[in-house]
C-alpha cells in the first residue's frame, strides 16, 4: 500500500469503550481525504456501527479482538475491520451491490442500512478464524454529497 501517512491501524478490544479511538481514526482519515465535517461524521457513524455489530453479534458482548486498518489511496477511502469471532458463512446477502434495496428489514437491520447509505461498497470475507470486513468509499464520486 502507499505511504504510511495514507494509512493507520490499531487493535481494539470489542468489549471496552473504544469508540473514541475508532472515531479519532476515522476523523484523521477524513481530514487526510479532504472530506467535509459532515462527510467525516457519516463515516464515523458507519464504521462505529460495524464495530458495534461485531461486538454485539460476533462476540455476543464478550471480549474479543478487532484489528482495524484505514487507508486512503487512489481516490478510495477504505476501512478494514478484522475480527476473530465465528466466521459468517451466509453474509453474501449483505455484500451485494446494493444491500439496502431490501425492503424487508429485520429488527436491528437499520445499522446495515446506515452503513450502506454512507459507504459505496461493503465486502465480507469469512476466514478460518474470523471475518474480514471492508467498507469502501470512492472519493471521486458523489462530490455533491453534502445533503
How much is the pLDDT for 120?
Answer: 95
**Measured between alpha carbons, how far is 46 from 27 in angstroms, rounded to an integer?**
12
13 phi and psi angles, rounded to 5 deg: -95, 120
Per-residue pLDDT tens over the stretch 21-80 = 899 999 999 999 999 999 999 999 999 999 999 999 999 989 999 999 999 999 999 999
* For residue 103, pLDDT beyond 50: no
Per-residue pLDDT tens over the stretch 10-20 = 999 998 778 78
**Measured between alpha carbons, how far is 24 from 116 in angstroms, rounded to an integer?**
21
Across the beta sheet with 121-127, the strand order is 7-13, 65-73, 76-83, 130-138, 121-127
Residue 73 CA, chain-centre distance (Å), reads: 16
Decide: helix, strand or coil at residue 77: strand
For the chain, the domains span: 7-138
CATH of 7-138, one of 3.30.930.10, 1.10.1200.10, 3.30.379.10, 3.30.565.10: 3.30.565.10
How much is the pLDDT for 142?
Answer: 56
52 phi and psi angles, rounded to 5 deg: -65, -40
How much is the pLDDT for 94?
Answer: 59
Amino acid at each position: 500500500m502507499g505511504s504510511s501517512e495514507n494509512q493507520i491501524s490499531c487493535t481494539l478490544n470489542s468489549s471496552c469503550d473504544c469508540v473514541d479511538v475508532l472515531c479519532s481514526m476515522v476523523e484523521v482519515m477524513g481530514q487526510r481525504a479532504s472530506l467535509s465535517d459532515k462527510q467525516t461524521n457519516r463515516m464515523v457513524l458507519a464504521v462505529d456501527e460495524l464495530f458495534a455489530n461485531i461486538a454485539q453479534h460476533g462476540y455476543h458482548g464478550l471480549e474479543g479482538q478487532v484489528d482495524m486498518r484505514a487507508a486512503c489511496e487512489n481516490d478510495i477511502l477504505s476501512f478494514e475491520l478484522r475480527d476473530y469471532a465465528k466466521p459468517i458463512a451466509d453474509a453474501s446477502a449483505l455484500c451485494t451491490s446494493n444491500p439496502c434495496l431490501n425492503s424487508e428489514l429485520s429488527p436491528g437491520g437499520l445499522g446495515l442500512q446506515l452503513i450502506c447509505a454512507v459507504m459505496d461498497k461493503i465486502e465480507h470475507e469469512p476466514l478460518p478464524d474470523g471475518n474480514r470486513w471492508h467498507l469502501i468509499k470512492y472519493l471521486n464520486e458523489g462530490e455533491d454529497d453534502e445533503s
